[in-house]
Amino acid sequence: MQDTIKGEIHDFIMKSYKESVRNCSDRNDQMVIHDVSVIEKYFLDGADSFDIMRELAMSPYSSTAVMYIIDRYLNHLSNVASHGGYTPDEIYFISTLLGARHSNRKAYKECAEVIAQCKDEYKKNNLVFNIFDPIEKLYEFNLISRRTLNCLRGQFDESWDNDEHNRRVTVEDIIYMPKKWLYNIQNMGNKCISEILAFVNNYTIYGRIIPTKEDIKRVLENTIANIAILENNDIINMYFLSDMSVEDMCKQLRMELDYIQRLISKVLIQMCKSIYKNEWDLLDLITLSSMIDLYMARSGTYNHLDYYHYTQYIADRIRNLLSSKE
């Protein structure tokens, strides 16, 4: 092991062991240094408990005492790691320590399992997807279940033309659809929908089109003239073009939450109806989809019955444009 890495691991062991005995009145500075030496000799030098006893002249102690120190330290590492208390670098140090030994002790096995889970989580959190990745990739990384995968496959197999039946379903096919559309998929329960929402909301997707405030402003300006209920234009602009919460909007405008939500819903439905009359391009459709998602998220649910047919139509139009059928 390189001296630099060994020095960093020594610093980590000292820091983490001090944390583990912070509330132990019988552990003074001298005892901490002693116990850290036990841990380092066990993991970094590969010494067994009897060698450690002899080398450190632990005459009052026994091999049981050595393993007690080791087990207590491993239990501390497991507890902190399971609560997300370590950085990726610290997880790497712990993984290096564990990799230096092989043990069948319960504390060692439990710590190894926790650290393996942490490494998987860090790996997932740093995943970057491409819009053309097949949805099978989500299943491979345990982001969606087999049931969710099969439901998505079934949805697209039924909706595509026969000549496209063999086309693979990609990330692009799901990220732009209104989230309400997920509730239209047969056999897609709340758990499956939550898996997809978590992926869409939390992961970096390279090549993804993300509507800007300027896109929202353009879509509003292009459709707003045809909407007769906009006696409160400021509410619409504030709702979609500012980052203000609905609660703060209510306070500033001195209006009830229900009134604002009903007004926004009417505007969105009118905008959806205009799609049937006009040829919207892909970016405008994706922008409207994001506006519907915002409204439903702020309302507390994506399962709004009023939007059933509209979101299905929007999803079909987006999918047709993505596949260059039009």
**The two three-digit tokens of residue 238, written as one number:** 């504030």
Is residue 59 pLDDT above 60, yes or no?
no
**The two three-digit tokens of residue 325, written as one number:** 């059928």
Q: With CA atoms as reference, report the closest residue to 180 among 270, 306, 286.
A: 306
Global pTM value = 0.61
Average per-residue pLDDT for the chain:
82
Name the pLDDT band for 164 (thresholds 50, 70, 90). Answer: very low
Distances 286 to 177, 199, 306 between C-alpha atoms, Å: 7, 18, 19
pLDDT in tens, 112-157: 999 988 887 777 777 889 999 999 888 888 888 999 999 998 888 7
Is residue 288 pLDDT above 90, yes or no?
yes
